Structure 1
Amino acid sequence: MKRTITTLLLGICGLFTALAQAPSALNIDQIMLGDRFTGFSPENVFWGEDNKTIYFNWNPTMDTLAALYKVILPTGKPEKVSLEEQRNLIGGGVYSRDFSRKVFSRSGDVFLLEVATGKVQQITNTLDNEGSPRFTGDEKGLTWVSNNNLYLWDSATGSITQLTNFKGGQATRPAAKPLEYEEWLKEDQMDMFEVLRWRKGQRDARERQTKALQVKRPKEINYGTKFLSGLQASPDLRFVTFRYTKRAESKSTDVPNYVTESGYTTDLTARSKVGTPQDTYEFGIYDRNRDTFYMVDTKKLEGIYDKPTFLKDYHKGDKPYNPKYDKPREVSIGGSVFSDDGKAVVSIRALDNKDRWIVLLDLVTGQMKQLDRQHDEAWIGGGGMGWLPDNEHLWFQSEATGYSHLYTINVNTGVKKALTNGSFEVLETNLSRDGKTFYLTASAEGPHERHFYRLPIAGGKLEKITTLKGGNEVSLSPDESTLAIRYSYSNQPWELYWMPNRSGAAPLQLTTSTSAAFKTYPWRTPEIVWFTARDGVKVPARLYKPNKAAPSRPAVIFVHGAGYLQNVHHWWSSYSREYMFHNFLADRGYTVLDIDYRGSAGYGRDWRTGIYRHMGGKDLDDHVDGAKYLVSTHKVNPQNIGIYGGSYGGFITLMAMFTAPETFKSGAGLRSVTDWAHYNHGYTANILNTPVEDSIAYRRSSPIYFAEGLKGNLLMLHGMVDVNVHFQDVVRLSQRLIELKKDKWDLAVFPLEDHGFVEPSSWADEYKRIFKLFEETLK
């Protein structure tokens, strides 16, 4: 038996070796080494407090693990950071308003840095965990959170005061009120016996004396079995805001792990499924002056009772449709953002994902003043916010125009002002140290580039600072004089650069990470093309053209995964192995198209929500129309088009093979979602609502319901310990295909792989099978 298996394995290996021996210098085993073939790029870039040292994780020598490196500007070379220096590094923290001091936590203790001298003072040294340190409003003290309570350190006296008294566990129940006859008996006893009256008088006097001698402590607030988080003190320390989370009782999914060190099968606890009960939230304010607390009421928010429009599709009966709920919708309230003079704003998000409100809190009463409401019948986008130095204006991001842009609002008058506009996205916003400038990362040069910009707080023209075409990920030095830039281009992996913080300055490269083997191949710069979809919309894509098409003129369409992702751009793709595989395919005569279909990031709100309530609708149409574009413009044979992708890409591949068999002859679905009712809540409920509320959306979006349409050649590949898209997905679909008596499909399983594969052997096996499928069916 062993000899038979060995012979079979040698035969398979021989076949794969033969497949790899094509005209290209590339081979699949090499490509699927990933970073160990391309080289490890620098990651996790941050600055030292001296404004001249850049730290980053890097592995230029291909060690088992990456190490921490540093470069000292302006002329230094990358060097490893010693363990002793790492132990003393300051990561994160909060500066004082004049940036002369910085408070931070390390190893569960609180420290205070004097920036000019580098002197560090340790404030706490305990076995408890102290975190989230901040300066008080007058900057004469520090606050931090420990054991779910807020503490204050007074720099003048060195004393530490506990500001709150939150306690978990079941609250002590008050004593039951005596019954009427019990009260009568007690009064009768006291009237009858003088000794009882005397003893009670003594007892009451002792209690009054003890109470008078006690040090005043904050009122106990018992949060029971809820989860407490978000403790923040107002600048004057009078108010503390907090959040309760009530954990939902939802059933998790077990993922069996068959290949273990012990030899026994174990279960991995994974996420619950979409539509299961979700956590609920409350937001509270503790007034230290009055030693009382109260919860914020959201019943008066605009639209809080509104039903989402999709529910109209399920209205039955003779009564008119009621667009309002009887109870307010559940919401989640983020942490307080305090101005220097003590005003507080919070961002509130509806749990059904349709609304986001920004409100000003009256801390004394708990009442709210609505500043902005962002509503989307699909699902609302995100965005940051913060105060301007005048303590009167708030900045925030909104998709009001259809693209994520920067706005300010006067919290007193409600007057809003758009600071940016156009058909591009503001991706990240930070306020400068002096409060006069915004630093933005945006796609103002076009959706396929990302640059770093400067913008006055009053608005005006964006000043582009970075110059290199592609992707620019910027870390600003603490004094804002210098940029550390992680930069890449379409065919060049990420490297670290630096430049002065001024427009037109020349960036200087600090690292060289790509391997000698990677550099020997002339990597293509994919051409970015736009084709017209059936609804008249222009769709962007990356095109890989062969130098000489194979006689059968085959083509492959790649479908990137989702989560909210862009893959058509001028920087190094997060799908680096796929990028290299596409070069490999093009060398063998394939034309390859990689589409930013509807639902992809980078093209505004309408593009983002184009898949609402129908995944496998416009997004699949874009791939079918992309295939037509390849036929009409690049002379691809319409009978020899394949499709492949992983995760969401695997889902689209299945939908393509089941519902567009006339377009796609072959498809490879990796770690594919086969039934959205079995995926997670956070992602799926945004797009499809929940299965109970919107069964129509799930029915038309899930491939398992369309499996009878399979006509072409389908290969499915899935990791067995996938805790994201569970192996159960592909097992259920396999059973469906068996019952439908379909025979042009195959399943390859990977016992030790999760959603994102890790082992090069698994990656290589997977892509050799995909390549074999296309070679045998498209050529």
Structure 2
Amino acid sequence: MKTKQLFLSLTFFLSFLGFAQSELTVEKIMQDPNWMGTFPSNIQWNEQSDVIYFQYNPEKNISDSLYKISLKKKNHIEKVSLNEKRHLIPQSGDYNSKKREKVYTKNGQLMLYGVRRGESKMLLNLGKSIISPQFISDERISFMMDSNLYVYNLKTAQINQLSFIQKGKKSSDKNNLSEREEWLKNENLELLAEVNKAEERKEKQKEYRDNFDENQKKFYLGKARAYNFNVSNKADYLSFQTYNPTGSDYTGVPNYADASGYTKNLNARSKVGDQERKTTLYLYNTANDSVMKIDPTNLPEIDRLPAYTKDYPDRDWKKEPRAVTYSEVYFSPNDKHAVVDVRSQDNKDRWICEIDLTSGELKTISHQHDEAWIGGPGINGYYNGGTLGWVDSQTIYYQSEQTGYSHLYTYHVSSKKEKALTSGEFEVFNPQLSNDKKHWYFTSSEVHPGERHFYKMPISGGNKIKLTSMEGNNEVTLSPDEKYLAIRFSSKNQPWELYLKRNKKNAKAEQLTDGKSKEFQAYNWRKPELIQFEASDGEKPYARLYKPDADKDMHAAVIFVHGAGYLQNAHKWWSTYFREYMFHNLLTDLGYTVLDIDYRGSAGYGRDWRTAIYRQMGGKDLSDQIDAADFLVQEHGINPDKLGIYGGSYGGFITLMAMFNSPDTFQAGAALRSVTDWAHYNHAYTSNILNEPHLDPIAYRRSSPIYFAEGLKNRLLIAHGIVDTNVHFQDVVRLSQRLIELGKDDWEMAVYPVEGHGFTQPSSWTDEYKRILKLFQETIGKKD
């Protein structure tokens, strides 16, 4: 009897302990993420397609390490030794025509890897860094060194220099010296005979060298800097770009908690409007050693004035060619054609152009104009052009948002015909050609905006084969031999794990990792309901809805605003906001309803959704939060006096706009690391959406919370890291002074001396979210 009682007591105790372990607290959620387990990232294959490498951390070290799984021992996860790691072949590099050899660089040395032998050997160590090697035939390898193009012959071991780009100006160029400097030099040479003789010897030596190298027409960069070198497949052409460094002012961010005990200034970004960079593209013909400067001024509508200029009739707007930036140059396999993505620096026009290799003229293949800004999957690359390349020597491929969604296109340079390979109200991500160039592989959101699946499609388009089936996000890394898919998969309430699947439609995906800790699995993590609600303009944003049990329902709700603006969070996979996801589970346990919205400006829903915030951040993106609050009141029984809102970065900005511009909607708000004045944010992001502050001040005034601070009525928490080099602490300092001057009382600020934009210390996360929870508990968290 005693034994039975002891057993029952022990069972009850263990059950109670298990229940206690499953309860959520802010301290538990915000501790070092290692408590959740370990989850794979940065998936890659070896060259033989029989080993998968990934970052992992089962030992709970300070950072992840490299691990591997062999297809021969799929149930065995092994840490990669330091020696093996040193000898890993990088993913970058170039194969010969039969894919039996791969050329790459390591520590600036030129290396050759034999795929069948599984061995590497060093080809060249020249004491200078070698970059960008590629096979131009099975016997010849081109590479870049010191901003010049060289060719190495594998049979003869001979090196030939094909380009002659020099820093600075030609020494005989009189423009090297000012008139004053020229006079001073001549005066000195007349006075000092020995110095004059030495100068004459130097001139004769230079004349000899120039005569010796008369066939080498050196190209001098002057004060410009060269970058973005691209070599044609047969090394007949070299393209490169130059820019002149500007003296942009960079904002200093003071670090008051530096280990030295002194306040140290951290170099941070400049502000929007500070970064106009004039870029020039050159084409170097290595056969005749000539250089052509590419002229973009004849591109169609290059001098178009943006529509917003009509709002400033008193300003004298000059209609002139806009500055442009270029992607890399892509040469056709036969070296007869080259294409480049050209962007106007205001990012309102994009031209995909063919470069005439004889004249250097730009011939427009595709022109996309957007009064807001050019963007979307495969198009976002401001300097790299996104998706662009050659299918064969006559056909290029690229992505375009011309239908409102980013899709895959081809263009035949001879027939001048464009063809859409995909279409519909979904987006395409990361297209790649198969090894035999008979098929495409890509990821898309065709099934649902909140799902990602991997597809195979004929090279000319047509029937797509969906190769993944698990509901969530399937991040696929294809093996080099294309026989296997390594799938990094997650669902709404389950973090990322690694799966293996044969490259066949009906093959079953096999799970290779299971990194969740027992402590993490002890809690029954919710699968938030993915819903749509109707906004006031008829659009239907997606959102994640967390509902409490009926007996705990306080009829109070918290709206979470994700950051980044252009980011998707209302989806079916594990959120990058995993701490917030866990916090939302905690809030739901306490009786709150939580809504997490993909408001206007979010990623995943096409061009119109992306650009709906143009010239007014805090417009449609804010009204979506207000409409969501009304939806919660009308459809989910939320008390209109018990609504809160919070978010970080862009989410912090929206929180401020909500508390200032719709003060009767939310009784409490927590604005974390928030932008308060867009004229003080960076150039690349802000100028797309609001143009530049000195050109379009209207957009900045109606988009910046600091101009609306007088509207604050209810409780506001502001939290910010002092060493934030993204959204500077200066933002909230200026806003706090504004609130003080306005005599506002119901606000407080929490500052974090050692934190940047993304917090790293569990103590900071814990403190911040305890304050957020306290704010909601004291304002909207009391039962009716």
CA distance in 1, matches of 2:731, 2:753: 15
Give the direction of change, closer, same or farther, for the CA distance of 1:207–1:123 in structure 2 (3 Å limit): closer
Q: Secondary structure of the residue that 1:581 maps to in structure 2?
A: helix
In the other structure, the counterpart of 1:135 is 135
Deviations 1:26-62 (A, max 9, x none): 1111101252222221111110011010001100121
Deviations 1:87-135 (A, max 9, x none): 0000121222332221111122111112122232311124321111111
For residue 31 of structure 2, the aligned residue among 22, 29, 33 is: 33
Deviation at 1:175, TM superposition (A): 4.2
CA distance in 2, matches of 1:23, 1:633: 34
Q: Secondary structure of the residue that 1:584 maps to in structure 2?
A: helix
For the Cα contact (< 8 Å) 1:150–1:231, is it kept in 2? Answer: no
CA distance in 1, matches of 2:213, 2:310: 60
Deviation at 1:549, TM superposition (A): 6.0
Give the direction of change, closer, same or farther, for the CA distance of 1:301–1:209 in structure 2 (3 Å limit): closer
Matched, 1:368 2:362: yes
For the Cα contact (< 8 Å) 1:406–1:420, is it kept in 2? Answer: yes
Give the direction of change, closer, same or farther, for the CA distance of 1:546–1:163 in structure 2 (3 Å limit): same
Deviation at 1:481, TM superposition (A): 0.7
In the other structure, the counterpart of 1:180 is none
CA distance in 2, matches of 1:71, 1:59: 14
1:290-689 matches, cutoff 5 A: 290-316=288-314, 325-342=318-335, 343-381=337-375, 382-383=378-379, 384-548=386-550, 550=552, 552-689=554-691
CA distance in 2, matches of 1:548, 1:621: 29
In the other structure, the counterpart of 1:118 is 118
Give the direction of change, closer, same or farther, for the CA distance of 1:23–1:508 in structure 2 (3 Å limit): closer
Letter in 2 for 1:94: D
Letter in 2 for 1:127: G
CA distance in 2, matches of 1:159, 1:587: 72
Name the stretch that deviates more: 686-695 or 65-74. 65-74
In the other structure, the counterpart of 1:16 is none
Deviation at 1:662, TM superposition (A): 1.0
For the Cα contact (< 8 Å) 2:282–2:291, is it kept in 1? Answer: yes
Matched, 1:78 2:80: no
For the Cα contact (< 8 Å) 2:22–2:523, is it kept in 1? Answer: no
Deviation at 1:211, TM superposition (A): 6.9
For residue 270 of structure 1, the aligned residue among 268, 271, 279 is: 268
In the other structure, the counterpart of 1:164 is 163
Deviations 1:371-422 (A, max 9, x none): 0011111000153444454411111100011000011111122211111111
Aligned-residue identity in percent: 50
Give the direction of change, closer, same or farther, for the CA distance of 1:641–1:236 in structure 2 (3 Å limit): same
In the other structure, the counterpart of 1:68 is 66
For the Cα contact (< 8 Å) 2:52–2:68, is it kept in 1? Answer: yes
Give the direction of change, closer, same or farther, for the CA distance of 1:209–1:588 in structure 2 (3 Å limit): closer
Letter in 2 for 1:665: Q
For the Cα contact (< 8 Å) 2:271–2:683, is it kept in 1? Answer: yes
Give the direction of change, closer, same or farther, for the CA distance of 1:719–1:171 in structure 2 (3 Å limit): farther
Q: Secondary structure of the residue that 1:65 maps to in structure 2?
A: coil
For the Cα contact (< 8 Å) 1:24–1:584, is it kept in 2? Answer: no
Letter in 2 for 1:250: S
Give the direction of change, closer, same or farther, for the CA distance of 1:206–1:719 in structure 2 (3 Å limit): closer
Deviations 1:676-717 (A, max 9, x none): 000000000010000011100000000000000000100000
Letter in 2 for 1:104: Y
Letter in 1 for 2:304: D
Runs of 4+ residues deviating >6 angstroms: 21-24, 203-212
CA distance in 1, matches of 2:673, 2:203: 72
Give the direction of change, closer, same or farther, for the CA distance of 1:570–1:206 in structure 2 (3 Å limit): closer
Deviation at 1:208, TM superposition (A): 9.6
**Number of matched residues?**
727
In the other structure, the counterpart of 2:744 is 742
Matched, 1:237 2:239: no
CA distance in 1, matches of 2:510, 2:41: 17
Deviation at 1:173, TM superposition (A): 5.0
For residue 258 of structure 1, the aligned residue among 256, 259, 266 is: 256
Q: Secondary structure of the residue that 2:613 maps to in structure 1?
A: coil
For residue 728 of structure 2, the aligned residue among 717, 726, 729 is: 726
Deviation at 1:217, TM superposition (A): 6.0
Name the stretch that deviates more: 370-379 or 122-131. 122-131
Letter in 1 for 2:340: V
Name the stretch that deviates more: 231-240 or 767-776. 231-240
CA distance in 1, matches of 2:209, 2:519: 80
CA RMSD of aligned residues (A): 2.1
Give the direction of change, closer, same or farther, for the CA distance of 1:205–1:516 in structure 2 (3 Å limit): closer
For the Cα contact (< 8 Å) 2:112–2:121, is it kept in 1? Answer: yes
Deviations 1:567-612 (A, max 9, x none): 0101000000000000000000000000000000000000000100
Give the direction of change, closer, same or farther, for the CA distance of 1:58–1:205 in structure 2 (3 Å limit): closer
Deviation at 1:292, TM superposition (A): 2.0
Name the stretch that deviates more: 32-41 or 509-518. 32-41
Deviation at 1:260, TM superposition (A): 1.1
Deviations 1:426-452 (A, max 9, x none): 011101110010101110101000010
Letter in 2 for 1:112: L
CA distance in 1, matches of 2:175, 2:130: 39
- TM-score when normalising by structure 1: 0.90
For the Cα contact (< 8 Å) 1:41–1:59, is it kept in 2? Answer: yes
Deviation at 1:171, TM superposition (A): 4.3
CA distance in 1, matches of 2:588, 2:462: 45
Q: Secondary structure of the residue that 1:406 maps to in structure 2?
A: strand
Letter in 1 for 2:228: G
Name the stretch that deviates more: 325-334 or 718-727. 325-334
For residue 760 of structure 1, the aligned residue among 759, 762, 769 is: 762
Deviation at 1:239, TM superposition (A): 1.8
1:147-296 matches, cutoff 5 A: 147-175=146-174, 214=212, 218-296=216-294
Deviation at 1:287, TM superposition (A): 1.8
Deviation at 1:262, TM superposition (A): 0.8
Name the stretch that deviates more: 493-502 or 286-295. 286-295
Deviations 1:602-659 (A, max 9, x none): 0000000010000000000000000001001110110000000000000000000000
Letter in 2 for 1:87: R
In the other structure, the counterpart of 1:14 is none
Letter in 2 for 1:165: F
CA distance in 1, matches of 2:138, 2:307: 49
For the Cα contact (< 8 Å) 2:142–2:235, is it kept in 1? Answer: no
Deviation at 1:352, TM superposition (A): 0.2
Q: Secondary structure of the residue that 2:550 maps to in structure 1?
A: coil
In the other structure, the counterpart of 1:99 is 99
For the Cα contact (< 8 Å) 1:34–1:577, is it kept in 2? Answer: no
CA distance in 1, matches of 2:208, 2:110: 38
**Which consecutive residues of structure 1, in runs of 5 or more, have no partner in the other structure?**
1-20, 178-202
**Which consecutive residues of structure 2, in runs of 5 or more, have no partner in the other structure?**
1-18, 177-201, 380-385
Deviation at 1:63, TM superposition (A): 1.5
For the Cα contact (< 8 Å) 2:387–2:430, is it kept in 1? Answer: no
- TM-score when normalising by structure 2: 0.90
